A and B are shown apart, each in its own frame.
Chain A
Amino acid sequence: MKFETPQTIEAATALLAADAGARVLAGGTDLLVRLRAGQIEPSAVIDIKRIKGMSDITQEDGGWRIGAAVPCSVMGEHDGLKAAYPGVVEGAELIGSTQVQGRCTMVGNLCNAGPAGDSVPAMVAAGASVRIAGPEGTRDVPVIDIPLSPGKTSLAKGEFVTSVFLPARPARSSDAYLRFIPRTEMDIAVVGCAVNLSLNEDGTVKEAHVSLGAVAPKVLDVPEAAAALIGSKCEDAALEALATAATAAATPIDDKRGTVAFRKDVSGVLARRAAKLAYTRAMGEKS
């Protein structure tokens, strides 16, 4: 195995394009576990952390661009980002322990393409996109189009993600992410749910996005659930309709961590709680 530390995006894409067995290394909290367990045998590991700009969080067009090598702990310490997208940051901060937080990235979480990645639903609900660099140049792609199925992404040979972009939101907007795990820390989501809301001046919901994790082969965008909130002030009837739609949209599997019926039910419960939390936060922006 070779270990490469390209200094530029072009050098990284050239290395990736030249070697089909090469893997990108960000925080390594998935890659190195799999490497050490003998599940993968890459011919080369391409460490992207030394590429300029890859570790930056910057404001852009009223939104936020987060470099692919930014560890989740750094996001949690960034007051501006936390104020703008509390739900995205809380999803990222749920990954692993303090030690894992110091290394893990949202893009690694996304490109690992596990159905239960904790940072992914909030990015989907935010309408986030990623910038992809490849031998042919760069392209921007919605986050939801990156994972295809467990372990598989839509990235082509030679391509890697350089950053995530969270778009600008109007005033009176906020988001939230909640997950269910059997413990209080350090576990894989049985269900995860993110809700992103923008309110009208009178406090009714103008725009909503609901996303579920861990209940399908990949993250779900659930427009039917979001539609239940439009025009409401997240009163009980609207939350009930939201929960029913979320439960209906979930197509989970049975495994040791949860049955189908349980996961569907929890999808509704978490959607309701995340919507209330996002709504409270969005209202808070008024004052």
Chain B
Amino acid sequence: MSRIHVNTTINGDATDYLCEAEDTLLDVLRDQLDMTGSKEGCASGDCGACTVRLDGRLVCSCLVLGAEAEGRTVETIEGMADGETLHPLQKNFIDKAALQCGICTPGILVAAKDLLERNPDPTEEEVRYWLAGNLCRCTGYDKIIRTVLETAAEMRGAA
């Protein structure tokens, strides 16, 4: 069994790991690199709990092979806070109770951050469509959508 040696950049740090060809990026993150922030909700691309950014694009890490990350840049929820300082989205999700069990939260935060970087002033409809691939079993979405919109306004004000 020859494992594949992968060199990649995760949250700005050069990282390397050995993986099997079948291993997904999500498997590698969680089981080998102890980055358990990304969750596995479905393993079929439907729920978005495993969302990461790969070369600047949102993807489901359950539908990326670990070996595909060679030479690429990966951004996960673990890279979202700046040291002890939470990203405004993270802080507001806590303050405004935009989560219950929290399984969907890392994926939603990574996806919402990407949206606000592309479009600092999205409409409610744009937020809802952007996050359509992030399922939440608990909240009913309303607090999530409102918190993203309120954070967008706050970040525009601060800029």
Contact = CB atoms under 8 A, between A and B. Distances in A.
A99 B43 contact: no
Contacts of A5: 70
Interface stretch (A32-40, A130-138, A214-222): A32-40
A99 B54 CA distance: 10
Nearest to A2: B21
Contact of A32 (B57, B65, B130, B131): B65
A100 B60 CA distance: 7
B77 to A, nearest CB: 14
Given A32-B64, A103-B60, 7 more contacts: A1-B20, A25-B65, A33-B45, A45-B65, A49-B68, A102-B59, A103-B64
B94 interface: no
A231 interface: no
Contact of B65 (A28, A33, A97): A28
A186 interface: yes
B70 A100 contact: no
Contacts of B133: 96-100, 185-186
A29 interface: yes
A158 interface: no
B24 A32 contact: yes
Interface in B26-68: 43-46, 48, 51, 54, 57-60, 62-65, 67-68
B44 A28 contact: no
Interface string A45-83: 101010000000000000000000001010000000000
A262 interface: no
A99 B21 contact: no
Interface residues of A, number: 27
A103 B63 contact: yes
A186 B46 CA distance: 8
Interface string A88-126: 000000001111101100000000000000000000000
Contact of A1 (B21, B43, B46, B51): B21
9 tightest A-B contacts by CB?
A: A97-B133, A102-B57, A3-B21, A185-B132, A1-B21, A3-B67, A32-B63, A99-B60, A102-B59
B45 A1 contact: no
Nearest to A74: B57
A114 B51 CA distance: 26
Contacts of B45: 29, 32-33, 96-97, 99-100
Interface in A169-198: 184-186
Contacts of A45: 21, 65
Nearest to A47: B68
B138 interface: no
B18 to A, nearest CB: 13
Contact of B130 (A29, A33, A98): A98
30 contacts: A1-B20, A1-B21, A2-B21, A5-B70, A25-B65, A28-B63, A28-B64, A28-B65, A32-B63, A33-B45, A36-B62, A47-B65, A47-B67, A47-B68, A96-B45, A97-B45, A97-B132, A97-B134, A98-B130, A98-B133, A99-B60, A99-B111, A100-B60, A100-B63, A100-B133, A102-B57, A102-B58, A102-B59, A103-B60, A186-B46
A185 B129 contact: yes
